[in-house]
Chains A and B, each alone.
Chain A
């Protein structure tokens, strides 16, 4: 009787157990072209990474087509008869499309249009547009505090908190702030003056904390900067704690300079990278919320964006 009763209860437990069923993804899910094309004004190359998407049911795996036609056209403001455009060619070595014909091509405030297609294929032609943003510059900065701390390996390393005031022509732009440094030592010159001698290798500063302007988000792809939405900053002011990439190994080693690249990015560039940051954060967080992918490509997926850059060296002890 006891055994019989046990079986009944076990049956109930089985009934309560979760049921899992697996459903095939329909084959009518289509595959698209996926492009990653970030243009930086002043760069010597424009590079595009073009792939196809996997529609998840196994019928269209990811491929890297070499026969696509990718054209970028400049906005025709003056009504010129000659369209300004560049065609990107496939480079088999790197597996990407590129052009080195960039002289005078990317102009601030101009809109650029992308068209990419593979003739005689089932993939739809993709289009997109981007407007080259005005530059954002560092207006002022201050060293708020500094200390010597130990890094994870037990080495002494410089850590400081700096405040940065930004200048944004649009008052609502997006930036990508990269901070890096060179190994530097204080030497006495032949003239008897103190001089700073820089090494040849540059490394990004480690971002410890965004003290003010918490909406700034660490660049998860390049891991050497912050994405900033100036619309979210109070008085365009940012306060961050950062750590030197070079542990102190020499008695005359100093951290007196922070090299910065303030890249003004278009809205779609910012959105794409923030979304990607969210996706990765979600995957690494056991409680993470599912994040959505952003794309500004019509009939496809990916990013077509434009950026302009300004560089500044912050001299911490003027």
Chain B
């Protein structure tokens, strides 16, 4: 008896000491199989096989319980947990021995909370969306957007896994006998190997909820780069169901939705135009991105205001341990970031800047090209963006984040073509000008508070704005011996949207099976659309007088439109056990437009069931959008204008249904299929013909057509890790139509401009050596629908007119692109370097993004289809230094 008491005293003492120790049972990896063997026999055999003494009392465990198990190269601890849990037993480490005993019913019923923060060991950056779970995945959670996790678990020995994509997985085994705070610091793989190898399926995007894809910084940095610029939206474009437009032009279109239907968030604040260079590059400088989440289907209730998808981009807080930074010089741009601690309490800052370096050379090159052609003129383009973020720790429970973003693009093209025909003594001059100027501004302040181990709050106030100005001029002057004649077309288009918003979000974890989120907010939208289109008949200027942007802009009626939006949401994520999670809730928003008011209750429901190697997911989402984007051709050109909902143009609405099935194995295989069906209502677009004048006192809303649409499709994906090679591939079959009463000959349905019927994508990442890697990205897709000419006729008044009969009735040629790159990493005492050699569009495929029709010079009855492509083969080099 004394011996037994002594045994248990030692057991309790030693198990309390186990926390933080090196886990012997994890270090021993064995293969073992048994079929219907008694538990006592199995434990003895495991003891023999592992060489570790396993102690147990046959009377205190169900020793005759039959065990069937097969484990290959598994840690001993994992095998023991798998065997013992079902039999209500546990194991503890006592010295060099493992002691097996029965769990008492009192221990089973008593639960404690374990909580803490996960951060990067090197920089102190908090890790968002990291996984924290028990070995058998019976309980688990993710860190929230501030790196915090909280789990309620029964008393006893716990083996916790902490994992995050791009970081070395950590295991912690300890005895839980009270509420515990456990902060973990994970080591980035890049610190270990310099190159990230996804060698564990747990590090992959194991489904946490329906239709979500998580991308972290390292996935973004190793993604295909254009001119040395890796890009989050370019990476998102490689996902199934996402079409990145033509080389990025046209924006991001998710599952048959248009670009304006994506809610793009930068640290929770909407960005209205996430692209530089008309979408070729995103405004998100990869230097400052922490992670990004793309939600294509089941959108949780905390998100609202757009119809199709959410791209939630989070920026880093900055290194709170030491001053560090990086500089990258690429063929396109020079960029850099600096970050460091503020004080010693964990506060930090990060600033980054990026600026194109090509403008000088573009201007010189285009000037010389024009000179060669006998013309005068130039083109110039540049963009820049600045990011800044400061996080201030206000005690242990509160953090204040101050963020700002500034992005600006400028494009200018001027050309003067003068010809003299001596036979008639006539001079022809053609002056064409195009000036675009657009940019985003975002400022936000966010107070994050941890009220308890189970509750979090975020109060955010922000301003986000997007403005663009567009000036165009075609001016023809003919001078002969008798007179001078002038014919011109010109226009100025400006559109702006500015939001001031405030919102409060609250997260509450009542127990390990619930995560409740709720929030409230209000947004004031200010719109300033303006358009003037003039031609010679308007007699804006006298002959010889210059037409300037300022002169044309002065013809615009000043228009200010406003829209107020109020919203609230509540959602609950419930873990039902057996790997099943339900997320349900509702997003409610309200707006008043003139005499009407709109209250929209949008239910959200999704279910995810996970088994050992498979998962099933299904969901239904209702979304609505108070903003309308009038897009002249969907290209994301500066003729796009944001407008509020009005009495007639009510909020746009959608239903999204998703169902999916997937398989994954510990050997790195991940495959699945996902189907979706979407219905859109109350969409609007430009009417056919001239663009209506939009001003506060005109009835423009009566002219704009209202319509509906539907999109459906199926996505297949197959990902595999084979040794040093990671393979990602997917195929999407997609259908998307629109139907407007006044468009396409009286309301016939027509294909959506940016839908590709078939879409195959392949991504390959191969680690050649520890310091060198190779990436390949391949995209083969059907052409986009386009409106084709059907012939030329003599119309009623005798004019010859080219006619178009079917909206988007034709197809552009197939899109095909292969990108290659090599990354070379070097590590020094002072920091790291990375050299990237890339080849964009390696096959030099002339992928069209637009076509037009042009009369042949030698035959007035004959025409050509003129196809415009923007990016042929583009080699690139980029070099970055991190310190």
Using a CB–CB cutoff of 8 Å, the interface residues on chain A facing chain B are 6, 8-16, 18-25, 29, 31-32, 34, 36, 38, 49, 51, 53-58, 61-62, 152, 214-215, 221, 232, 271, 275-279, 281-282, 284-295, 301-303
Contact = CB atoms under 8 A, between A and B. Distances in A.
B639 A214 contact: no
A32 B790 CA distance: 10
B7 interface: no
Contacts of A25: 862-865
Which one of A278, A285, A289, A291 has the greatest number of beta carbons of chain B within 10 Å? A289
B744 interface: yes
A292 B744 contact: yes
Contacts of A282: 688-690
Contacts of B854: 22
B874 interface: yes
Contacts of B864: 22-25
A32 B791 contact: yes
Contacts of A16: 227, 358, 362, 870-871, 874
Interface stretch (B564-572, B708-716, B800-808): B800-808
Which one of A38, A49, A58, A271 has the greatest number of beta carbons of chain B within 10 Å? A58
A296 to B, nearest CB: 10
B520 interface: no
Given A12-B876, A54-B791, A286 B688 contact: no
B863 A13 contact: no
Contacts of A21: 846, 866-867, 869
Given A15-B874, A24-B864, A58-B861, 16 more contacts: A8-B331, A13-B362, A13-B365, A16-B871, A18-B868, A18-B869, A20-B869, A29-B791, A58-B863, A214-B702, A287-B533, A287-B639, A288-B689, A289-B689, A289-B690, A292-B745
B865 A22 contact: yes
A20 B792 contact: no
B687 interface: yes
B489 A284 contact: yes
A56 B862 contact: yes
Interface residues on B, range: 35 or more
B305 to A, nearest CB: 27
Given A20-B866, A214-B703, A9 B358 contact: yes
Contacts of A288: 533, 689-691
Contact of B689 (A12, A221, A281): A281
Nearest to A36: B796
8 smallest A-B Cβ distances: which pairs? A278-B689, A58-B862, A281-B690, A293-B803, A61-B861, A54-B792, A291-B688, A286-B491
Contacts of A276: 795-796
A265 B799 CA distance: 22
Interface string B771-815: 000000000000000010111111111001111111100000000
A263 B862 CA distance: 39
Contacts of B797: 221
A301 B689 contact: no
Interface string B474-493: 10000000000000011101
Nearest to B632: A289
Contacts of B800: 62
B856 interface: yes
Contact of B805 (A278, A286, A293): A293
Contacts of A29: 791
Nearest to B873: A15
B73 interface: no
Contacts of A38: 796
Interface in B333-377: 358, 361-362, 365
Contact of A278 (B332, B688, B794, B802): B688
B100 interface: no
Nearest to A12: B331
Contacts of A285: 491, 533, 689-691
8 contacts: A13-B358, A16-B362, A18-B868, A56-B863, A287-B639, A289-B689, A293-B803, A294-B746
A56 B854 CA distance: 10
Which one of B331, B358, B491, B702 has the greatest number of beta carbons of chain A within 10 Å? B331
B491 A62 contact: no
Contacts of A284: 489, 535, 690
B792 A56 contact: yes
Contacts of B260: none
A16 B866 CA distance: 18
B793 A34 contact: yes
Contacts of A34: 793-794
Nearest to A267: B746
Nearest to A273: B796
Contacts of A8: 331
B688 A292 contact: yes
Contacts of A294: 745-746
B405 interface: no
A271 B358 contact: no
Given A54-B861, A277-B689, A287-B491, A36 B853 contact: no
A282 B874 CA distance: 36
A303 B793 CA distance: 12
Interface in B94-117: none
A271 B868 CA distance: 33
Given A12-B227, A22-B854, A53 B793 contact: yes
B92 interface: no
Interface string B495-520: 00000000000000000000000000
Which one of A61, A286, A289, A303 has the greatest number of beta carbons of chain B within 10 Å? A286
B875 interface: yes
A36 B489 CA distance: 31
Nearest to B364: A10
B531 interface: yes
Given A56-B862, A284-B489, A19 B689 contact: no
B148 interface: no
A279 B796 CA distance: 13
A224 B453 CA distance: 77
Nearest to A34: B793
Given A285-B690, A287-B533, A23 B865 contact: yes
B869 to A, nearest CB: 4
B281 to A, nearest CB: 12
B329 to A, nearest CB: 12
Nearest to B851: A23
B472 interface: yes
Interface string B835-874: 0000000000010000001101001011111111111111
Given A20-B867, A287-B691, A290-B787, A152 B746 contact: no
Given A13-B362, A13-B365, A287 B490 contact: no
Nearest to B488: A286
B809 to A, nearest CB: 10
B689 A49 contact: no
A38 B474 CA distance: 37
A54 B853 CA distance: 14
B807 A292 contact: yes
B796 A49 contact: yes
B483 to A, nearest CB: 19
B793 A6 contact: no
A11 B489 CA distance: 35
B491 to A, nearest CB: 4
B372 to A, nearest CB: 13
Nearest to B862: A58
B686 interface: yes
Nearest to B870: A18
B872 to A, nearest CB: 5
Contacts of A289: 632-633, 686-691
Contacts of B558: none
Contact of A214 (B361, B699, B787): B699
Given A6-B361, A56-B862, A287 B796 contact: no
A286 B703 contact: no
B539 interface: yes
A295 B793 CA distance: 12
A58 B796 contact: no
